[in-house]
């Protein structure tokens, strides 16, 4: 392998800073610390005109399949990048993997999921104006992606769930692993590890504050499941940290549960989370997001057990983790699960769902947390168990800290650099 390689990190720019953006920052640091010359090459993903490859697309055509046209336009921008001066490229989110280079390492977390594994859920939720058009567009996207994916030199995936998608849709096997460490600056970090294993052996006392959920309010992160579960509990308070396009919808759900308009024990998936989260959704109304009379601060319903905080800094987030008796991560078929790792690093048991993908791989039932059915009732039962049985919660928290210590940036660096060697030596 070259002692010093020139590496282009291909990154779609979505205008947000989330867990994956922090991972890419750490990846670049690892590569630079290993002596490589690293350049981030970003592509703006904002759609400013209805055009593909400078060819205008009529509005009525674009609006019939907006996900398709936006994706193909972004692919074109990645195609136009000149990376010939680099020894290799490292692609990240889709469609950066479509860029052509003879030495290509894909840090592959997912396809354009609404065209692949989430296609039917996306249609069921009502996002596709014409389901037939969307399905046809998905077939075209898969046809376009296949030769580009086959041309990638090597893949690093974060979970069996993601590796299985590559096998299922593209017949690609033999992928390597890249298991990122925690994404926030945790005060218990030591020696480059996610946690100090000595401290992990001793564990920490169970938190007595609010049950915590950290995640974007987007489809299908399913924060709505926890909101419904909160209204099945006599306590404790539930604290949801994060922003996103479904936040107003989720607040309106919370208000309707609190007012008795919806029954959290019987609410169906379509009403709860398998919808667009817009005013035309089952719960959406003209008043969606308006809150309720007499509310103050971020608790928009006086009687609600749910508190929404939006974006918070690392110090505030760490305090929320430390105070929590448990952390709930209810997302559907997640690629990995940084929230679960951060919770375990803080010694907090994690509640995830059976269909949580990478989350269900990270959390071992009754060892580092609970793996439950994706229903409000099952989530509520799991939360109740962990808040009432402090001994169990502390045992799971201790085990979780030991597990988080294994998922550290030192090990992740070894996995990444091995992938780089594989590509440069190919």
Domain boundaries, the chain: 6-181+410-424, 197-406
Closest by CA position to 30, among listed 144, 156, 119 = 156
pLDDT of residue 280: 80
Torsion of CA 323, 325, 330, 333, to 10 degrees: 90
Closest by CA position to 318, among listed 184, 150, 419 = 184
**Picking from 62-66, 88-92, 188-192, which range would have the lowest pLDDT averaged per residue?**
188-192
The helix/strand/coil state of 327 is strand
Closest by CA position to 424, among listed 23, 86, 176 = 86
pLDDT of residue 223: 97
Mean pLDDT, residues 107-112 taken together: 98
Half-sphere CA count of 119, side-chain side, radius 13 A = 20
Distance CA(101)–CA(83), nearest Å, equals 7
pLDDT of residue 219: 97
Percent of the chain exceeding pLDDT 70 equals 90
Distance of CA 114 to the CA centre of its chain: 14
Distance CA(24)–CA(11), nearest Å, equals 8
Which of 8-17, 184-193, 387-396 has the highest average model confidence (pLDDT)? 387-396
Which residue in this structure is represented by tokens 């308070």? 237
Would you give the DSSP letter of residue 98? G
Provide the pairing of β-strand 306-310 with 369-372.
unpaired
Mean pLDDT, residues 341-365 taken together: 97
Which residue in this structure is represented by tokens 């593909």? 52
**Picking from 63-72, 104-113, 294-303, 407-416, which range would have the lowest pLDDT averaged per residue?**
294-303
Percent of the chain exceeding pLDDT 90 equals 81
pLDDT of residue 421 exceeding 80: yes
At residue 185 the predicted structure's pLDDT band, cuts being 50, 70 and 90, is low
pLDDT of residue 68 exceeding 60: yes
pLDDT of residue 201 exceeding 70: no
pLDDT tens-digit map of 261-277: 999 999 999 999 999 99
Query: What's this model's pTM, rounded to 2 decimal places?
Result: 0.90
Mean pLDDT, residues 33-48 taken together: 95
Mean pLDDT, residues 394-410 taken together: 95
Alpha helices (runs of H) in 153-273, residue ranges in sequence order: 160-170, 197-202, 223-230, 247-259, 269-272
Cis peptide before 90 (omega within 30 of 0): no
At residue 193 the predicted structure's pLDDT band, cuts being 50, 70 and 90, is very low
pLDDT of residue 146 exceeding 90: yes
Distance CA(425)–CA(423), nearest Å, equals 5
pLDDT tens-digit map of 203-253: 567 888 999 999 999 999 999 999 999 999 988 899 999 999 999 999 999
> 10 Å Cβ neighbour count for 414?
12
Q: Does domain 6-181+410-424 have CATH number 1.10.1740?
A: no
Same CATH topology for 6-181+410-424 and 197-406: the answer is yes
Mean pLDDT, residues 116-127 taken together: 97
- Return the CATH architecture of domain 197-406: 3-Layer(aba) Sandwich (3.40)
pLDDT of residue 204: 64
At residue 186 the predicted structure's pLDDT band, cuts being 50, 70 and 90, is low
Q: Who contacts 87 (Cβ-Cβ below 8 Å, separation ≥6)?
A: 2, 5, 6, 7, 103, 424
pLDDT of residue 17 exceeding 80: no
Are 412 and 183 in contact, with CB atoms under 8 Å apart? no
The better pLDDT of the pair 287, 133 is held by 133
Helix (H) or strand (E) holding 52: strand 51-52
Handedness of CA 372, 173, 36, 91 (dihedral sign): negative
At residue 295 the predicted structure's pLDDT band, cuts being 50, 70 and 90, is very low
pLDDT tens-digit map of 49-61: 999 988 999 999 9
| 3-state DSSP helix/strand/coil % of the chain, to nearest 5 | 40, 15, 40
> 10 Å Cβ neighbour count for 266?
10
Distance CA(332)–CA(352), nearest Å, equals 9
């Amino acid at each position: 392998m070259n002692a010093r390689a020139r590496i282009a990190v291909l990154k779609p720019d979505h205008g947000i800073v989330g867990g994956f953006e922090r991972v890419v920052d750490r990846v670049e640091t690892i590569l630079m610390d290993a002596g490589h010359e690293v350049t981030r090459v970003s592509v703006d993903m904002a759609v400013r005109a209805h055009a593909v490859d400078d060819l205008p697309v009529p509005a009525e055509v674009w609006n019939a399949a907006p996900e398709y046209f936006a994706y193909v336009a972004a692919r074109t921008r990645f195609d136009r990048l000149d990376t010939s001066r680099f020894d290799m490229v490292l692609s990240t989110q889709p469609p950066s993997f479509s860029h052509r280079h003879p030495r290509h390492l894909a840090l592959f977390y997912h396809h354009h999921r609404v065209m692949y594994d989430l296609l039917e859920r996306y249609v069921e939720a009502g996002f596709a104006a014409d389901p037939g058009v969307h399905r046809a567009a998905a077939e075209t996207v898969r046809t376009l992606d296949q030769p580009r994916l086959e041309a990638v030199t090597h893949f690093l995936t974060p979970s069996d769930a993601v590796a299985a998608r590559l096998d299922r849709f593209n017949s690609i096997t033999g992928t390597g692993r890249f298991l990122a460490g925690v994404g926030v600056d945790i005060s218990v970090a030591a020696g480059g590890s996610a946690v100090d294993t000595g401290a992990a052996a001793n564990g920490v006392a169970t938190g007595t504050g609010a049950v915590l959920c950290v995640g974007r309010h987007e489809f299908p992160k399913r924060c709505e499941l926890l909101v419904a579960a909160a209204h099945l509990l006599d306590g404790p308070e539930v604290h949801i940290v994060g922003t996103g396009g479904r936040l107003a919808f989720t607040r309106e759900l919370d208000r309707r549960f609190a007012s008795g308009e919806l029954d959290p024990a019987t609410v169906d998936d379509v009403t709860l989370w398998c919808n667009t989260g817009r005013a035309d959704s089952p719960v959406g109304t003209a008043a969606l997001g308006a809150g309720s009379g007499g509310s103050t601060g971020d608790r928009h319903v006086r009687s609600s057990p749910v508190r929404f905080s939006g974006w918070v800094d690392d110090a505030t987030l760490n305090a929320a983790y430390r105070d929590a008796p448990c952390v709930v991560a209810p997302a559907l078929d997640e690629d990995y699960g940084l929230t679960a790792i951060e919770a375990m690093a803080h010694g907090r048991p994690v509640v995830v769902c059976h269909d949580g993908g990478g989350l269900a791989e990270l959390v071992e039932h009754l060892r580092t947390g609970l793996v439950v059915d994706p229903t409000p009732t099952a989530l509520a039962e799991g939360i109740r168990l962990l808040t009432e049985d402090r001994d169990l919660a502390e045992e799971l928290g201790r085990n979780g800290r030991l597990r988080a210590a294994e998922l550290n940036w030192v090990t992740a660096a070894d996995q990444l650099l091995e992938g780089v060697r594989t590509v440069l030596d190919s």
